[in-house]
Amino acid sequence: MINFSEILRVGQELLDTPPILIKERKTDLFVVYNKNKTRLDRIAFDIYKDETCYKLILMANPAYFCEFDIPNNTVVRVPFPYNDVIQEIVSKLTAGKNRENLQF
Task: Tell me how far apart the alpha carbons of residues 104 and 19 are, in angstroms, rounded to a whole number.
Answer: 7
Residue-level pLDDT at 1: 67
Question: Per-residue confidence of the chain (104 residues) as pLDDT tens digits?
Answer: 677 778 888 888 887 777 889 999 999 999 999 999 999 999 999 999 999 999 999 999 999 999 999 999 999 999 999 999 999 999 888 876 655 544 44
Residue 30: strand pairing partners: 77
Residue-level pLDDT at 103: 46
Residue-level pLDDT at 89: 92
Residue-level pLDDT at 87: 94
The end-to-end CA distance of the chain, in Å, is 20
Q: Which helix (H) or strand (E) holds 58?
A: helix 54-60
Residue-level pLDDT at 7: 81
